[in-house]
Structure 1
């Protein structure tokens, strides 16, 4: 390679003593909370977190309770939350959620958080010798010790009595702490360590500490006591008895130390009148925080009065200008910014990265190169502002590329390409002399396995620089379509088939076959759903499976096929297809500047709305990182993304740069503490105690209750809740559910309340949960009992049942009477009609009987006379005899028919009696002895239908007739038995019997007719001839009861 070298040796000043040679990282960003956010006043004297998680802030004009979003203010003159003093100096929580508040001028205040009862102790009440209380401490016996301008006050909360100690020795006591069975007391006369039992000073500690002068503050953690006094700041180990002074570098301005707090990492935060300092027990002062008008994320005011760290590791800083909050003292996402007037990063615009090793990374900016030392947290600039002539260097860096040999290639704006080698302490920078490239702007650099360097340029196309020093090969835009589709090249990606994928602005993707030098164009086609989403290409990435991901200004694209399967034929036919991902898949913004693979299945993509974490398997965004998480800005820069060999990600943007390990960004998220803050009826908050509201009396604050009893009148109830989240509270999401009413979780879009109306009486359970961006849900619950109105109680229900039963009974009785009366009337009419019909039938039957009998008698008489006259004519005499027999039978059948129609004969007794008469009439005339058995007077109570009476009579008359004519019998018997509803009629003679088979063959009509009649009434008929002779006829039939159907 023909190279003209211009070497520069730079001895890095990071080894020098001069502190101005480096700057620390600026990932600590303060969020400001002031009176515009609800704080009662901007001068914050004290900060305290209670056992439930609320932050209490004492100001010079009121006490504030903060839940992360809203403030509850305690001040004099308020109807609710009225206290006896507004100038708050100190806050302490005792058992059972009692808050004790020291005021200047108002004495001591007790707030019972359970009952919301507020008690004041003051001189005017006669239970406190001073109204000016500066500090509070509690000993092991639950005695309160108060620092005041009258000396040390011992206050018994149970007896509500007090006494003064050291009135003559210390007129002003500003700090009191209970440390290892001793009271450490600091005031205008120095330090006293008191044994509260003997009430004597422990001189050993006094001798150890020595002269202090006025003591401003005392703080303790474990075996360490921090003592701020007129002589300085001292660290005392109570276990070893070693005292050491904390020294501040001369260049660090400091004021009076007003508060000291130990934080989670073992470091101490020191609040002074001139800034906030972080002290490391070994390294000393490691961080300083000041107010900077050029940095809105700096401390709000240099006069720092109070400092406190909450359980979630959020640091609270009270200043003369409100609260300054550090949400992430040790954030997973590190931040490096350019601060005007400070050394370090000298440009807000960070454009490119390349790693020197695992801890040192070069950053290219609009103002030169910077070396980022992640381990030492140092940023060292190398730019053209140096007076050393050998350090002149192009100002703006567009691209950086590290090849496999560890050489870093630097692409500049209008100054060609540089080669960076050497050590981090003594780097060597060489400009590459390429004919025609002196003023070249290089957007991207790649080096192929053959050693050829590929340069994507501005307006000059794609350059290939061969290692043999020959003139560069330039692939430029051609109007005939044989060259590149655009003169600018933004990004490059080489595949395994010797092809270079080229990203252009507005020209789409170009594919160069480096062997044949053929170029294909892949562009957006509005008519083709599988084409690129946009022709402005910003970045490429090839995943482990071989798929190419393409970042554009209109979303993310991925090839449908791996690059190895995209053939020249597909490229020739323009059939390369893509899947597209945008807002619907969760992208916060369509512009995708760069992509980094975390090795766990997700792409981390820089956009104009933060960093999106895209899960490749699910094909959707799983999380979005914003400035609230520590990003330099929502907007990032093209080419400013880089992944080190140890997995650390770098992203550069318009306000600096970020780097982080992706696996730590979402780890260690604590569950949120969720509390109920109040309950409202008809949009009015229900006070605790007093007369209540709308009949609802709360003995305790809703946050301390397990169950809430509502009346049936409370048909509009609202639950207010809060997640005591002080990290990114604006990203906290809520969901709630009233078990017994809601079938699913209700996700709260706005506000922190849930309203229910017209709840039915019964038992419910209100659950509310909160989560941060990691969706680690946690919550709280309360049982809800909705009372039953009097008209729905059990006794009311019993009354309703009795009333309904009475009404039903009365109604039924009336209806029965009415229906009975109606039925009786109908029955009377029916009976009259029946009687009328019966009389008519009887008369008709009698008339018919008389008339028919008269004619039958005449026919018999004439037949008898004719028989006598024709006695000599045998044949004629036979006919006349048949006429007489049939006439007699007709008379008998007529009488039987009239009998069956007689409703007075509708019982079993009359049937059997009639059958007996018929048997005697038909058999005894032929000399057969006949008897009937089983005739029981109880049979009169067994009703029979007209049909059954008629069929039974006819059936057995047929049997009698067969006996009389054909059997030659001398005896016959009829036997009737009744068992329940089952009737059996048995008839037997002692004649010759009947051969059933022969009868069947001859088609014996009488037997067949008897069978049919038996079946007609639902009975069974058996006709048999026993071995001993005779014929046995048995009828079995069930007598239907009233209402049965036949």
Structure 2
């Protein structure tokens, strides 16, 4: 097991020929140090390069990195549990974990704060450790855990950050900033929705907010100094000035510290498609980008940043949003698909390379146009989730089971009892069989005569048929099968996240959309059987 973990780390940090090449976005800053920037897509070294690509970095403390994959130092994993905060005290290292846990590394003791939220911030006030979650603030010492009440205002219990230097302690909340005065706490007027704090060694303080820029403390009150910066996520006091981390990069005196413009637009990749020249990458709330590794371009001017599905039809790219709206084009010009383009409806429920699903029917690509199918009465009122061709018929997925539709005869029959779950999420024809992914029942397989079940109990997000076999995306990793053998890929094979949302392929390139960015596997056909772990 240790060997596999070290092997995975070598892939995460990059080798000459890793199994997965990770393409991520380092636009959204989470924490700062003088030598590096922690982001939702890995650690961005200011000297160049990204470490732990695709892994959200939560905190930096000297040479230590806290991330969703654990605590790292010089490429070594010291604690594999997701870690949200780090603090160096005179007694040793302290880390904040999920579900209110605080670990004291020198003694091995773990203290439990009364919260089910992660401990996102830690500070040392000279005597005790202060631990914060978005549900409150606690003081930790040899006596145990004590709740710290900042104000009678209930909004002040939503603590967002804590910072300290010497005996100077500040706490950021949704209600504003509080500073400690003796045993009491006093509000610093002037800022609300506080998202970041920094206290310099001389006690000078800076306050970042979600929507009103950056404030500087002057004579016991806050003065707005950088009003145009929005989405502040981190602050760092340096001899050169205050560094401001945001959801769109890191800045020193208004100058960006690094360039993220050629990266994909976001790390939660929900949709993928390959055209002749580009890979198209849709994300959850971060929009659409396209291009090739090292040269990605963001598509501007779209009506929504949540891309649900993508498809390539001829020379055009089809983009489906979470609202059900579909646009067609190749950028920079897009046209809305629906009644204006000959479809009976504007709203859609699914999208593939040559099909579109909707309520009570579906459309398929026919030359330069689209053919509409509305099988009545069987499909009346049914929301179609997927379409596949198998055995000369159209097979349709829905939350009411699967349907087999013969376009020639008009016969449409429902299949429910044969399936492990009535909610069919996706369909694919591969290796002479029909494969139906379900929401919580695994993968139903039809060989033309009878149904069987693979991966029982799994949630199936997506399916992709390639010449080498079928690829399956799940919340617990990526799987491949040739119909006889199965292989599983996860963190131990170099995936920064095992949650797979989308799949696409071009030739021997496999593209995998995950919660940890876009993964590229070259030579996927030959490496599938060799590099994956046999399914048990």
More helix, by proportion = 1
**Which has the greater radius of gyration?**
1
Q: Could you tell me the TM-score, scaled by structure 1's length?
A: 0.27
More strand, by proportion = 2
Q: Could you tell me the TM-score, scaled by structure 2's length?
A: 0.49
